[in-house]
Amino acid sequence: MDERQARDDLKTIRQIMDRTRKGSAGYGGWFMVIAGVTWLIGFTAGQFLPEAYLGWMWMVLNISMIGIMIWTALRWRQRGNVRSALWGPLFFYWLALVAFDALIVWLFNVNDGVRIGLLALLTVGLGYVLMGILFHWLIAAVGILIAVFAVGAFLLVPEYFPLAMGFLGGGLLIGSGSWMVRSGK
Amino acid sequence: MSELNPLIHQPTRLRIMAALVSLDAGEKADFVFLRDLLELTDGNLSVHLQKLEDAGYVQIEKTFEGRRPKTWVWATSEGHEAFSKHVDALEAIVKQAGL
């Protein structure tokens, strides 16, 4: 094979890979945007609402978030281009992380809302890092940044922790999720 | 040094493998999506996929969704490795010519 044909083949490979990635882009980016909007609303409201309402508020927000995510996944599935065998296991993976957090809160009698929030955020950060190892470096980077923002806000501005996480964490998820959607990841 | 893979070297099969290896881990592509993406006919794609499956480079799964038949395709780990070696061989040719 001559050099010119080798170059042409490599160019063809790049074009096909690009086209495939754009045509098969999944809903991971959308999930991050949905989660980011939920955080922005939830944490911002959490800054101002009395603590007695926070549990209910987060329950309603999380149920809505999960419902929207399931609807998004089902709509995407109907497109039928590419299917992942991993989304089912990933759902149980996140469920296991939530159960782990609930167990920690119960066993160690954590009743401070800010500390519960910090624990949840660090778990989400860890969850994203592990997912990022499997899927895409950006997801891992988001996980690390969530953990850094959470610890930073907790130590530096504890009285504004919810607001900080709403804007920093929520904004990070919305921004990175939007980038993934636009670039077909 | 890697050598060109004669099976993957064929232009249509090269494009099929390029499409399949660009999927994420655990993903599989719909036959119709692949056909339209690569602008092939059903028959043409089927023949080449069969050759790649016989070599162990791809796996094909035929299912039903309701009453509609669905065919899913993905590259195996052997397929990923063979494609990667083929690309290495192509890059070596280009690099050699540039020296």
Q: Would you list the DSSP string of B20-84?
A: HHTSPTTEEEEHHHHHHHHT--HHHHHHHHHHHHHTTSEEEEEEEETTEEEEEEEE-HHHHHHHH
User: Mutate which of A3, A16, A19 to test chain B, going by most B C-beta atoms within 10 A?
Assistant: A16
Q: What is the pLDDT of residue A3?
A: 87
Within 8 A by CB and 6+ apart from B34, the residues are B16, B19, B20, B40, B45, B73
Q: Tokens 């950060």 — which residue?
A: A125
Average pLDDT score over residue span A35-50:
91
pLDDT digits (tens, 9 = 90+) for B31-51: 999 999 999 999 999 999 999
Number of domain units in chain A: 1
Is the pLDDT assigned to residue A81 strictly greater than 80?
A: no
- How far, in Å, are A74, A86, B61, B69 from residue B66 at the CA level? 15, 22, 16, 8
Q: What is the pLDDT of residue B40?
A: 95
Q: What is the pLDDT of residue B99?
A: 59
Q: What is the pLDDT of residue B56?
A: 96
Q: What is the pLDDT of residue A174?
A: 93
Å between B54 CA and nearest CA of chain A: 22
Count CA within 13 A, CB hemisphere, residue A110: 16
Average pLDDT score over residue span A134-160:
90
Among the residue ranges A164-168, A177-181, B8-12, the one predicted with the least confidence is A177-181
Q: Tokens 């993406």 — which residue?
A: B37
Q: By three-state DSSP, how is residue A82 classified?
A: strand
Q: What is the pLDDT of residue A70?
A: 85
Q: Determine the longest span between alpha carbons in chain B, in angstroms.
A: 58
Instruction: Indicate yes or no: CB of B93 within 8 angstroms of CB of A20.
Output: no
| Residue span of the structural domain in which A118 resides | 3-183
Q: What is the pLDDT of residue A22?
A: 77
Å between A91 CA and nearest CA of chain B: 15
Q: Tokens 């957090």 — which residue?
A: A101
Element spanning A83, H or E: strand A82-84
Is the pLDDT assigned to residue A184 strictly greater than 70?
A: no
Instruction: Report which of residues A77 and A164 the model is more confident about.
Output: A164
Average pLDDT score over residue span A64-77:
85
Among the residue ranges A78-82, A114-118, A132-136, the one predicted with the least confidence is A78-82
Average pLDDT score over residue span A153-171:
90
Domain chopping of chain B, boundaries: 6-96
**CA–CA separation, A100 vs A106, rounded Å?**
10
Q: Which residues of A touch B98 (CB under 8 A)?
A: 3
Average pLDDT score over residue span A136-144:
88
Query: The CATH number of B6-96 is which of 3.40.50.300, 1.25.40.10, 3.40.190.10, 1.10.10.10?
Result: 1.10.10.10
Chain A residue with minimum CA distance to B70: A80
Chain A residue with minimum CA distance to B94: A3
Q: What is the pLDDT of residue A80?
A: 66
Is the pLDDT assigned to residue B27 strictly greater than 90?
A: no
Which pTM was predicted?
A: 0.69
Q: What mean pLDDT value characterizes chain A?
A: 87
Average pLDDT score over residue span B61-76:
90
